[in-house]
Amino acid sequence: METLRDDVDPCTGRMAVRPLDVIIIGAGIGGLTSGLALAQTGHSVTILESVSRIAEVGAGIQLAPNASRILNRLGVLEEVMKETSVLSRVSIRRYDSDEELNSSPLMPSVGNVYRAPMGVIHRGDLQRILLSAAQRSGCRVLTSQRVLTADAGFAPRVQVRDNKNGTVVWFQGDVVIAADGIQSTLRKQMAMARGYRYEPTPTGDAAYRLLIPRERIQHDASLLAMLDQDVAMRYMGPGGHIMAYPVKRNTLYNMVLLHPAKAKLTTNGTGTGTGTGTDHAFWATKGNRSEMLDFYRSWSPAIRAWLEYADDDMLEWTLQTYPPLPEWVRGSVALIGDACHPMLPYVAQGAANAMEDAAVLTTAFTQTADVQLALRVYEAVRKARGEHIAAGAVSTGKSLHLPDGPEQRKRDEAIRNAGRDNLGNGDHSDKWRDATWQEYMWGVDVMRETVERWEELTAKLKMYPTPKF
């Protein structure tokens, strides 16, 4: 919190121009952030979640400055930071050695530059804090509620089945926000209404996510040292990479292991749910521990040592990319988060961008009572930015997975030289480490932009009247 300098908060004291009845689909990070922010500014919020119990599941996620800035304005950052591991740097290494190529500083330098802290947190902890805060702020959170469809004309109502008793009813409001993740029902309906075919393209990559508890490695001094040092590790290799860091007050070691997807995983699988799953662009199937050990058998001694402590049961996610949607808004319905801009994990911006969606929507409703104008301003502020960051994640993945050869050697040399001569020697294909991209991802204040550009944005939108459906 020492690096927090939010003295340009444009939203302090702002309230809704007109209190609305808001229906939010999905109690993941985006849905809960939206519910909390909207309730705090005077709206009546109902959150519909399909699972019967919102459990603390998932793994580690990054809290970048653009996310922590928003959480501060919602009054929950102090509680979130108590559960956050604040990392000092990222150690960057080749796959087959524990020798460091270079490192990227994190805290406090990133916090000082972007005036908001950075860290990593278990997704379940963040979701729990947001859920509790949303409920304290007056949000009504209903579980076992599966949304079947929105109104055919995208009026603000949705048809919902109660999974407990099978009854089907319509929920009516003033606006509907679909935060229902990568398998969004309303995104599919919106795309079909435009005659748009929205199909994923396999990246060829898959991922294992591991959480290894401290007690399992308590007799391994070298691994305990890695768990305790508050340093993230990034190993890059042919066809894959590994990102690893401590979470839960250094009691768990979070590892994300990227590798080539098997052919069967690129064509089928079972997707995760909206409330308890992680919100990346992927499909999940049961993983094979022997296959995992086989792929990483030539990787560094430290990696091989960690994997010996992995569970026998694990999930494997095949990663997909999705084309940009023609629209995020139709009628009185808006898509947010992975429902409209699913992101690969390579720039660690999925959760942060869902929070940005929530923040801009809330800010827009403090500027106007016109629901459809507010939604169109939200789309104008967020669509190009969200899709640009999603595209940056794709290019970063390619850089991390280069096969051994000339391109890999050029990349590694750029990493070794980064910061020693000048910024021009950096590896600009790695968007997460690139200074220009960091400024774009972490330095932009979308709430401030919405307020300061309001007249400009609404003037442009008024030249193109809201479509009638």
Section 399-417 average pLDDT: 92
Whether residue 32 is predicted with pLDDT greater than 70 in this model: the reply is yes
pLDDT value, residue 264: 59
Report pLDDT digits (tens) over 415-449: 998 865 433 345 567 888 888 999 999 999 999 99
154: left (phi over 0), alpha (psi -120 to 50) or beta: left
> Is residue 110 helix, strand or coil?
helix
Section 256-276 average pLDDT: 61
Per-residue confidence band for 117, with pLDDT thresholds at 50, 70 and 90: very high
pLDDT value, residue 9: 62
User: Quick one: DSSP state of residue 98?
Assistant: -
pLDDT value, residue 279: 42
**Helical H segments across 323-445, by residue range:** 350-365, 371-400, 406-417, 435-443
197 against 308, higher pLDDT = 308
Name, in order, each residue with C-beta under 8 angstroms of 13's C-beta and a sequence gap of 6 or more. Answer: none
| Rounded Cα–Cα distance for residues 427 and 385 (Å) | 22
pLDDT value, residue 394: 87
Separation of first and last alpha carbons in the chain = 47
Report pLDDT digits (tens) over 324-347: 999 999 999 999 999 999 999 999
Per-residue confidence band for 186, with pLDDT thresholds at 50, 70 and 90: very high
Section 161-179 average pLDDT: 97
pLDDT value, residue 282: 52
User: Quick one: DSSP state of residue 215?
Assistant: G
469 against 221, higher pLDDT = 221
Report pLDDT digits (tens) over 363-404: 999 999 999 999 999 999 999 999 999 999 888 888 899 999
Per-residue confidence band for 463, with pLDDT thresholds at 50, 70 and 90: confident
| Rounded Cα–Cα distance for residues 6 and 386 (Å) | 23
* Half-sphere exposure of residue 83: CA atoms within 13 angstroms, side-chain side: 19
pLDDT value, residue 466: 61
Per-residue confidence band for 185, with pLDDT thresholds at 50, 70 and 90: very high
User: Quick one: DSSP state of residue 85?
Assistant: B
DSSP string, 181-213: -TT-HHHHHHHHHTT-----EEEEEEEEEEEEE
Report pLDDT digits (tens) over 292-316: 999 999 999 999 999 999 999 888 9
pLDDT value, residue 262: 85
**Helical H segments across 209-263, by residue range:** 221-228
Report pLDDT digits (tens) over 34-91: 999 999 999 999 999 999 999 877 899 999 999 999 999 999 999 999 999 999 999 9
Whether residue 4 is predicted with pLDDT greater than 90 in this model: the reply is no
- Where b means 16+ CB within 10 Å and e means fewer, 49-72 reads bbbeebeebbbbbbbbbbbbbbbb
- Where b means 16+ CB within 10 Å and e means fewer, 362-374 reads bbbbbbbebbbbb
Residue 253: Cβ within 10 Å count: 25
pLDDT value, residue 425: 41
pLDDT value, residue 89: 96
Quick one: how far is CA 189 from the chain centroid? 23
User: Quick one: DSSP state of residue 369?
Assistant: S
Nearest to 179, CA basis, from 23, 55, 41: 23
Q: Tell the burial category of 451 from Cβ atoms under 10 Å away from its Cβ (0-12, 13-18, 19+).
A: middle
pLDDT value, residue 276: 39
Peptide bond into 324 cis (omega under 30): no
- Total-model pTM: 0.92
> Is residue 396 helix, strand or coil?
helix
Per-residue confidence band for 267, with pLDDT thresholds at 50, 70 and 90: very low
Task: Return mean pLDDT, the chain.
Answer: 91
The least confident of 79-83, 231-235, 272-276, 437-441 is 272-276
Whether residue 206 is predicted with pLDDT greater than 80 in this model: the reply is yes
Per-residue confidence band for 278, with pLDDT thresholds at 50, 70 and 90: very low
Whether residue 274 is predicted with pLDDT greater than 70 in this model: the reply is no
Whether residue 265 is predicted with pLDDT greater than 60 in this model: the reply is no
Nearest to 273, CA basis, from 22, 24, 25: 25
Q: Which amino acid is at 92?
A: I
Torsion of CA 268, 274, 280, 286, to 10 degrees: -40
3-state secondary structure 43-84: CEEEEECCCCCCCCCCCEEEECHHHHHHHHHCCCHHHHHHCC
Quick one: how far is CA 222 from the chain centroid? 31
Per-residue confidence band for 465, with pLDDT thresholds at 50, 70 and 90: low
pLDDT value, residue 255: 97
Section 140-152 average pLDDT: 97
